[in-house]
A and B are shown apart, each in its own frame.
Chain A
Amino acid sequence: MFAYMIRRLVTMALTLLAISFLVFVIIQLPPGDYVTTQIEEMIAQGTAIDAKRAEFLREEYGLNQPFIYQYATWVWGLVHGDLGYSFEHNLPVADVVGDRLFFTMVLNVATVIFIYAVSFPIGAYSATHQYSWNDHGITFLGLLGLATPNFLLALILMYFANVWFGTSIGGLMDPIYQNQPWSFAKFGSVLAHLWVPVLVIGTSGTAGMIRRLRANLLDELQKQYVDTGRAKGLPEGRLLRKYPLRMALNPFIADIGSLLPQIISGSVIVSFVMSLPTTGPMLLDALQSQDMYLAGSFLMFLALLVVVGMFLSDILLAILDPRIRLEGTVGQ
């Protein structure tokens, strides 16, 4: 178990390193750098440009250095918790993002929990009642959930949440709590606002997970050990809980690998629509204004969430399933 964990940790670190390189290449892609964009803007506004100042800025930000050197500096900083400097806001990135990263994590973790909590019972029901009207209904709703762009769902749900429940539009808490320290009232307010984005982001994921659990469980239910259990007189509920559900649970948890990127993609666009204090809206701004270190930090953080999530799910799987623990691979 310990050796397995170490091996997984090493692969995780290597993956993150590769991702950081990819992210750095991407944020470097736009032609020119932040200073050129700035100078162009100043020319457009008719302000005189100070060549010396431009040179100073480049020097200051290290934009003159060769690519590899810039990359190495950036990664070295990341490892030490220094996220770089935001050109747009004239502040260190760490100060700009504030608790956005924390809220992003809260939002995504809540969505994962929501998806698992909802899709497990529904998927199990759907599989045990195959081809019943309820099963058809669930399948239809699930397909609709897969097909609807979630940003539109966000808009519509936001409207109805406001009309029916009077939840204030946008944000993760009532405006009065914005700058207050954490308290139970603030926590309650966050919870009251959290359900709309969680529901919206979770819809397509839930739909996918229900379909997958249903398929897995249907495969298991056809196996002979189920008949054997039934023949020796096990009650249906106990039979289901004791054997096929446990077998179907394994790929269900392993699927977090495809679920997490999807949730995070969803949370980016949904938080833009609902203007949540998470990474989404600011990432968009940063990308548009070529604020490369800010954008890079957000991209890295989102990738980190996925990679760490996968790591945790692998550990969980290893605890659940001795085959993985002993062989070191996810058997599917």
Chain B
Amino acid sequence: MTHPTDPDRLPHRVSEKPFVFDDEDALTPEQERYYMASQWKMMWWRFKKHRIAVWAGAILLVFYLVAALVEVVAPYGLETKNVRFKYAPPQAVHLFHEGSFYGPFVYPYKVTRNLETMTRVFTPDTTKPSQIRFFCWGDKYRFWGLIKGSFHIICPPEKSTMYLLGSDSLGRDMLSRVLYGTRISLTVGLIGITISFLLGISIGGAAGYFGGWVDKSVQRVIEILRSLPELPLWMALSAALPANWSPILVYFGITVILGLLDWPGLARAVRSKLLALREEDFAVAARLMGAPPKHIIGRHLLPNFMSHLIASATLSIPSMILGETALSFLGLGLRPPVTSWGVLLAEAQNINAVALFPWLMIPMVPVIIVVLAFNFLGDGLRDAADPYR
């Protein structure tokens, strides 16, 4: 069929099918799930792919659970001492006694004195296997200092002792003390990072958003703080804490000190992200609509890189945990009766401890595990922080 008036014109064809608007964009269910997912959900998927980070997260979860439930998990109380068993070496858990299954038990120690060296000698008494009790009543405690109780998941055998990780100079169980240390050591990092996070966001945010002289002076301060060696400064500040403060106050003082010096890194990250983002169209639009700076920063800009911030905050928790350990080790940090891993390690200060009582150095194992776990978790979070990449 040719055109009625112009025979040279080509004919045109119109599809007879009914017009459906989004027919071509029909998504398979998987695609739909993917495209409709929220940002946090996508980050979670991305994070799950990082196997080591997931494991690290699980390990940290266990550690924090222990920290929350120490009183129930630890076989002994924090201060339970037994003067007969000073510096007892770790006891092994056995399952078989004289070839037959007996359940988990320990051989109790016989204590004799070596009169030449004037030291105690501990020999396992293999004739009397004593069974370890589970879900039992043992040392009394106050749960988080509030609720009285005596229920434990694991208790030493009746009328006997159990030092799975040895005992210290006063005959206190190292395992229980390490477990109690978990609570203090792990919370130091959390409180410290909260302080440094708040400082970093507000100072870095102000510098990045306002620019100009605010930015310049913040930059200078950051440069100066970063060129100072951390530990000596921490030492000087914690030496300045009044000696008559209660251990709890000292604990908060130390966390504040650790947080006070850590913010420059975060502030820098916030600043550079803000500088890049505030020129984006959506930020300009918000400004033109008359939103105040606080609203723009908090509502439009911060959510954009919150995930990055969380990742870098996770990566700086280890340095706080190590910092607390170092300070307590030097005797400038926490003091007994507050028990952290650093306080415990302070007992292993001399070379004799390494030679004679190596189990006093056991608190170093959880330190290493936790620091590594936070590093892996942070790596995984950083990879997951930008799921659109």
Contact = CB atoms under 8 A, between A and B. Distances in A.
A147 B371 contact: yes
Contacts of A284: 235, 330-332
Contacts of A272: 330
A250 B237 CA distance: 35
A159 B355 CA distance: 7
A151 B227 contact: no
Interface in A19-40: 19, 22-23, 26-27, 29-31
B93 interface: no
**Interface size range of chain A in the complex:** 35 or more
Contacts, number: 125
Contacts of B330: 269, 272, 284
B235 A29 contact: no
Chain B residues touching A, majority SS: helix
A299 B368 contact: no
Contact of A288 (B220, B237, B239, B371): B239
Interface residues of B, number: 39
Nearest to A266: B231
B275 to A, nearest CB: 16
B272 to A, nearest CB: 12
B233 A299 contact: yes
Nearest to B235: A287
A159 B322 CA distance: 22
B236 A269 contact: no
B227 A149 contact: no
A303 B228 contact: yes
B4 interface: no
Interface in B340-389: 345, 348-349, 351, 353-355, 361, 364, 367-368, 371-372, 375
B372 A151 contact: no
A290 B242 CA distance: 12
Given A143-B375, A257-B226, A269 B329 contact: yes
Contacts of A268: 229, 231-232, 235
B217 to A, nearest CB: 11
A158 B146 CA distance: 44
Given A143-B372, A149-B322, A149-B367, A303 B236 contact: no
Contacts of A303: 227-229
A226 interface: no
B228 A146 contact: no
A109 interface: no
A27 B232 CA distance: 12
Interface string B195-238: 00000000000000000000000001001101111111101110
B332 A151 contact: no
A203 B323 CA distance: 17
A21 to B, nearest CB: 10
A287 B375 contact: no
Nearest to A307: B227
Interface of A: 15, 18-19, 22-23, 26-27, 29-31, 143-144, 146-149, 151-152, 155-156, 158-159, 162, 169, 257-258, 260-262, 264-266, 268-269, 272-273, 283-284, 287-288, 290, 295, 298-299, 302-303, 306-307, 310
16 contacts: A19-B228, A27-B236, A30-B242, A147-B318, A148-B368, A155-B354, A159-B355, A257-B226, A264-B229, A264-B231, A265-B230, A268-B229, A284-B235, A288-B332, A302-B232, A307-B227
Given A19-B224, A155-B353, 10 more contacts: A15-B227, A19-B228, A148-B367, A149-B326, A149-B329, A152-B345, A155-B348, A155-B354, A162-B351, A268-B235
